[in-house]
Structure 1
Amino acid sequence: MATHALVVDGLTKAFGAKLAVRQASFSVASGEVTGFLGPNGAGKTTVMGMIMGLVEPDAGEIEFFGIRDRRRLAGMRTRIGYLQERPRIYPDMTAKAYLRFFADLYGVPEAAARVRETLDRVGLRQAAERRLGAFSRGMQQRACLARVMLHRPEFLMLDEPTLGLDPNGVADMRAVFREMKADGVTLLFSSHQLAEMERVCDSVVFMREGAVIADGRPCDIAAAGWGQGGLQVELFEPAVEALRVIASVNDIEGARQVGPQHVRIVLKTPPDDVRAARARVAALLSAAGLTVLSVDADTPTLEDVFLGLTRPEPSAVYRPDDTLN
């Protein structure tokens, strides 16, 4: 079995005068969950389209399961499941009929049992006889996910799979991802649900303006300096009131409530010394009239890394084998 289920090497695509993707290169390790991140318009969907053969690249190569030959790659698609960002449904079909139609199309053995199993896995067993047109956006998304899981693919590529899901639905989707990983399935998915990605992803790929700007384990990328660590602050005042005051403090990049009397703060120019950063935050908040009970350092979140990579223009592409200074 190949070490990497997918290798993308120098993919480039222009639409007229617009260069949508430029020299995109990254890999997805077999059996792992990889998050595909970037602002809207970064080129993620175009890259996914090229990987699936729906968009012809102007340059670059794609390798699946150790195979780069384009003629042989066409036959590999049966080992892959792909969920587009806004998949189409057949609104007059029931969920059960919809999946049975595709099971027959894919030649899935024991189709009836497989349809029941897949509906149960995505939480639609009780809605099997309901028409898709009567489903909520989130339920339609679940049905489409079930469709791409029917043939038990070895590799799943999902473009915004949690779009339209409520918090319970997102949690259910996370459980599905973990089950599939446990079964040895490799996943590559894009999402703006950064907290959820952080819970399930082994690695992440960041794109900006058509280029891959970071690729590796979130903790390694953060350690390389792309993400700013935050400071957890406990205040005497209610956090919701304190945030109004904090918003006016010039040296603070951002703050958000993480508890009734707790806020997480990121400085615009954090000092190298964590103790100095804690002292500076305490002084700034005290000068603003707030009562600081404690200040503790924490590690950068995936959101911190995302903001660090997409706000200022990074000077170089980070790779996991780079030397960390």
Structure 2
Amino acid sequence: MTTHVLVVDGLAKAFGTKRAVRQASFTVAGGEITGFLGPNGAGKTTVMGMIMGLVEPDAGTIEFLGIRDKNRLATLRARIGYLQERPRTYPDMTARAYLRFFAHLYGVPEATSSVREALDRVGLSQAADRRLGTFSRGMQQRACLARVMLHRPEFLVLDEPTLGLDPNGVADMRAIFREMKADGVTLLFSSHQLAEMERVCDSVVFMREGEVIAAGRPCDIAPAGLGQGTLQAEVFEPAAEALRAIASICEIAEGRQVGPQHVRFVLKTSPGDARAARACAVGLLSAAGLTVLSVDAYAPTLEDIFLGLTRPEPSAGRQLAAALT
């Protein structure tokens, strides 16, 4: 049975006349990694602020680790960690001194070993005695992550934790998230690194214009029809040549290039099962003169789902203009 360690129900928040969040509801399962997605301005940071008690909601409730009252943070402080978007450090402090300072504030037992462990976990052991003012943006982000991990929280809320990290840093962060999940920690984090989210997230929450528009496992929340009947083929010939051949096959629609020798397309009439569809596609492509190396059913990526869910619906005017062109 799934245990929900965070239950958000009907959250709403307005700043003046601007409604930042409208009736947001979702859950986060214990011991899982949940990605929080949406375009800039969707309301994700405001929701995170309300979850952490930094922003007072106008309406709605939050149940966090079984606690559901306004004084919850006093009880939960030792059990949660929060990394804000663009966190600040103290530039004249070394990384080690910075973490020791917060270990003292948190009342962390065995502070010296906890600081050493946190520095090692985020890959800053070699830079521990350098001033934070000399750190790159990505290194400062790592130092801030180490800070929120010092007291070994059960639940981490992270707003853009990979911001400013290079590809190696992002890969290291991914490894950290997996280690924490293996230790039983629950994570809720926002990011625009969709490929990285796809690798680590068990579930996702999508927001658009202040509303939660989908939540759950990526495979369960893809918009209807997204990727349905789509196949991807690798051919020996250049993809541009393959596309020209596909355009002449009446049984195939929506062909597009996705790599130097990879094309994606939809069979107009599905043969029934995936195996039969692949066999049909091989026959059609071969008859068109292409050398087929492989054909596979295509599952939509998190980026496909993100775009499918968050792109605004075209206005009536744009729909009419498109129809007339």
TM-score if structure 1 supplies the norm length? 0.83
The equivalent residue for 2:209 is 209
CA distance in 2, matches of 1:70, 1:236: 63
The equivalent residue for 2:54 is 54
Tell me, yes or no, if structure 1 residue 22 matches structure 2 residue 31.
Answer: no
CA distance in 2, matches of 1:170, 1:285: 41
- Between the two proteins, the alignment pairs up a number of residues equal to 305
The answer as to whether partners of 1:11 and 1:57 remain within 8 angstroms in 2 is yes
Distance 1:11-1:272 versus aligned 2 partners, 3 A rule: farther
- Describe the superposition over 1:113-170 as per-residue Cα deviations: whole angstroms up to 9, x where unpaired: 1100000001111111112121121111111110110111110011111111122111
Match of 2:258 among 256, 259, 264: 256
Structure 2 residue runs without a partner (length 5+): 315-325
CA distance in 2, matches of 1:208, 1:285: 43
Distance 1:227-1:84 versus aligned 2 partners, 3 A rule: farther
- Describe the superposition over 1:265-305 as per-residue Cα deviations: whole angstroms up to 9, x where unpaired: 366x9766566799789979999x98765543222221221
| Cα deviation, residue 62, structure 1 | 0.7
- Give the residue type in structure 2 aligned to 1:205: V
- Give the residue type in structure 2 aligned to 1:256: V
SS in 1 for 2:148: helix
The equivalent residue for 1:321 is none
| Cα deviation, residue 242, structure 1 | 6.2
Distance 1:214-1:2 versus aligned 2 partners, 3 A rule: closer
- Matches for 1:22-41 after TM superposition, within 5 Å: 22-41=22-41
CA distance in 2, matches of 1:40, 1:176: 26
SS in 2 for 1:78: coil
| Cα deviation, residue 244, structure 1 | 9.7
The equivalent residue for 1:129 is 129
| Cα deviation, residue 71, structure 1 | 2.2
The answer as to whether partners of 2:53 and 2:73 remain within 8 angstroms in 1 is no
CA distance in 2, matches of 1:312, 1:8: 25
- Matches for 1:284-303 after TM superposition, within 5 Å: 294-303=294-303
The answer as to whether partners of 2:79 and 2:154 remain within 8 angstroms in 1 is yes
- Matches for 1:64-213 after TM superposition, within 5 Å: 64-213=64-213
- Give the residue type in structure 1 aligned to 2:12: T
- Give the residue type in structure 2 aligned to 1:54: L
- Give the residue type in structure 2 aligned to 1:225: A
CA distance in 1, matches of 2:167, 2:188: 21
CA distance in 2, matches of 1:131, 1:194: 32
CA distance in 1, matches of 2:297, 2:12: 41
The equivalent residue for 1:237 is 237
The answer as to whether partners of 1:282 and 1:295 remain within 8 angstroms in 2 is no
The answer as to whether partners of 1:2 and 1:65 remain within 8 angstroms in 2 is no
The answer as to whether partners of 1:155 and 1:187 remain within 8 angstroms in 2 is yes
| Cα deviation, residue 13, structure 1 | 0.7
- Matches for 1:269-280 after TM superposition, within 5 Å: none
Greater CA radius of gyration, 1 or 2?
Answer: 2
| Cα deviation, residue 46, structure 1 | 0.7
- Give the residue type in structure 2 aligned to 1:156: L
The answer as to whether partners of 1:228 and 1:305 remain within 8 angstroms in 2 is no
- Give the residue type in structure 2 aligned to 1:88: R
TM-score if structure 2 supplies the norm length? 0.83
- Give the residue type in structure 1 aligned to 2:169: G
The answer as to whether partners of 1:12 and 1:58 remain within 8 angstroms in 2 is yes
The equivalent residue for 2:44 is 44
The answer as to whether partners of 2:44 and 2:207 remain within 8 angstroms in 1 is yes
Root-mean-square deviation (CA), in Å?
3.2
| Cα deviation, residue 31, structure 1 | 0.9
- Give the residue type in structure 1 aligned to 2:17: A
Distance 1:85-1:282 versus aligned 2 partners, 3 A rule: farther
SS in 2 for 1:36: strand
Q: Percent identity?
A: 76
Give runs of ≥4 in structure 1 deviating > 3 Å. 241-246, 251-255, 269-287, 289-295
| Cα deviation, residue 78, structure 1 | 2.6
- Give the residue type in structure 1 aligned to 2:113: A
The answer as to whether partners of 2:5 and 2:28 remain within 8 angstroms in 1 is yes
CA distance in 1, matches of 2:70, 2:242: 55
The answer as to whether partners of 1:227 and 1:301 remain within 8 angstroms in 2 is no
The answer as to whether partners of 1:236 and 1:290 remain within 8 angstroms in 2 is yes
CA distance in 1, matches of 2:185, 2:201: 13
Q: Which moved more, 1:304-313 or 1:45-54?
A: 304-313
| Cα deviation, residue 231, structure 1 | 2.8
